[in-house]
Chains A and B, each alone.
Chain A
Amino acid sequence: MGIDFAKLPVFFSVLIYVFFLLYYISRAKKGEKLFLRKISGIEAVDEAIGRATEMGRPILYVPGLSSIDDVATIASLNILSRVSKKAGEYETDIIVPNRNPVVYTVAKEVVKQAYASIGRPDLFKEDSVFYITDSQFGYAAAVCGLMVRERTSTNFFMGMFWAESLLLAETGASTGAIQIAGTDAITQLPFFVTACDYTLIGEEFYAASAYLSGEPILVSTIRSQDAMKSIIGFLILLGGFLSLIGKVSIIEFLFPK
């Protein structure tokens, strides 16, 4: 068994990232307050849940169509936990239709645990988190039907989406629901931006869970992302400069293909 040397830059990047992560966590543990810019999509989550409560209608949460091995699904389930807690505090129903059987079982536990953590396990309804089908458009049709029949007032589309994104978002917009989407699928972002009230774009989607929790340690992880981004920005500039002066060999040495 040998080491894949082509992947060494990835390995060192992860190590540098872990260093930043631990550094900012230690700063957060010391009680230092870290500033985060406002993200309107995340700020609107509370308002959207409140709206559903006022209208006495349920919230729809779609955890994407991908499987559990997709990090976007994991991020979505983290957000689902925060949203479920808020929904529980406001005593508002939440509907979570699933496409993947494994995601369904995890989502069910996440919602159940969220209600239990706020001391309201009685609010959890067995059939609020359910499986629909593995078929992409079968799922899209079923969720569109749910939006129309249940008259959901708030729709969350968080996770990985493909061609069905616009079908879901446009149907939701036609029912007059307030819609918040979050995805890292670049090709689907324009559809969500057009049809939803708020869209969490790429990294905002991954930061949402930490942002919603407000816990200093989780917030500090976003700062480590920013620090890493600064390094990548510097490397891009350096690479651009080296290319400009014709020193491509240095880039090839640092980042072998």
Chain B
Amino acid sequence: MKKEIPIFIVFFIGTIGFLQYFFIGPISKSVYTLLLEWFQGVQGMAIVMAVISLTKRHLHNLKRKKDTFYSLVTLSSLYGMIILGVFFGIEKGSTFDKIYEYVMVPLNATTFSLLAFYMASASYRAFRARNLESTLLLLSAFILMIGFTSFGDMISDKLPSFAQWILDVPNLAAQRGITLGVALGVLATSLKIMLGIERSWLE
């Protein structure tokens, strides 16, 4: 029964979600809303578990004197923000809001900006003409980059449209091939789980 009950729940909820997709009307809409509300409830409970997990891991680190500094920063940031939010409010202009605005947002932006540097190093590795495929990739990338700048138009007025053709035809054909495979994979995985064929999650 330890396996049968979860499989039955997954099958039942999955079937409701599947059938709901094909029906229109208030009942279908309310079923969808109900499922979303339940999911939000589960999410809310899981957040508590997640915060406990984070705290336990970093307390464990502090006990073992491993990455002490990082763990101290994490725990003080987490609980500091909770205390600030609960006791002093989160409205515009509050300390909570200021820390979010002037610390969290710039930190996020900084991490995101690192992407530009990583892209440069990744491009360097990707665009080396080692074999036929990588040479084709290098050529396509070169045509695309030149084609979409005003420099491309100066070389030939046909270059921008050729660059667009590469994007719209060979590139899109490959993308659609992958999308088809993905859609079937999603369908297969959903059915495998609903029908209890794939049980690795409860073995």
Interface residue ranges, A against B (CB under 8 Å): 1-4, 7-8, 10-11, 14, 17-18, 21, 25, 67, 69, 71-72, 74-75, 77-78, 81-82, 98, 101-102, 104-106, 108-110, 113-114, 117, 126-127, 129-132, 135-138, 140-141, 145, 149, 163, 166-167, 170, 184, 186, 189-191, 193-195, 201-207, 209-210, 213, 217-218, 221-222, 224-225, 228-229, 232
Contacts and interface: CB of A to CB of B under 8 A. Distances in A.
A224 B188 contact: yes
Given A4-B24, A74-B189, A225-B188, 7 more contacts: A1-B23, A21-B195, A81-B200, A117-B203, A190-B126, A222-B188, A232-B180
A69 B190 CA distance: 11
B108 A2 contact: no
A51 B83 CA distance: 45
B129 to A, nearest CB: 15
Contacts of B182: 184, 186, 202-203, 206
Nearest to B187: A17
Contacts, number: 194
A138 B78 CA distance: 13
22 contacts: A10-B21, A74-B201, A75-B189, A78-B198, A101-B49, A104-B50, A105-B49, A105-B50, A113-B203, A114-B200, A130-B53, A135-B104, A137-B108, A141-B111, A167-B111, A170-B122, A190-B126, A201-B178, A206-B186, A206-B188, A218-B198, A221-B198
Contacts of B115: 163, 166-167
B33 interface: no
B87 interface: no
Nearest to A116: B203
B50 A221 contact: no
A194 B26 contact: no
Contacts of B188: 17, 21, 206, 221-222, 224-225
B53 A221 contact: no
B178 to A, nearest CB: 4
Question: How many interface residues does chain B have, given as a range?
Answer: 35 or more
Contacts of B114: 167
B4 to A, nearest CB: 16
A102 B187 CA distance: 22
Contacts of A202: 178-179, 181-182, 185
Given A163-B115, A184-B185, A202-B182, A77 B197 contact: no
Contact of B46 (A4, A105, A149, A166): A105
B25 interface: yes
A205 B114 CA distance: 28
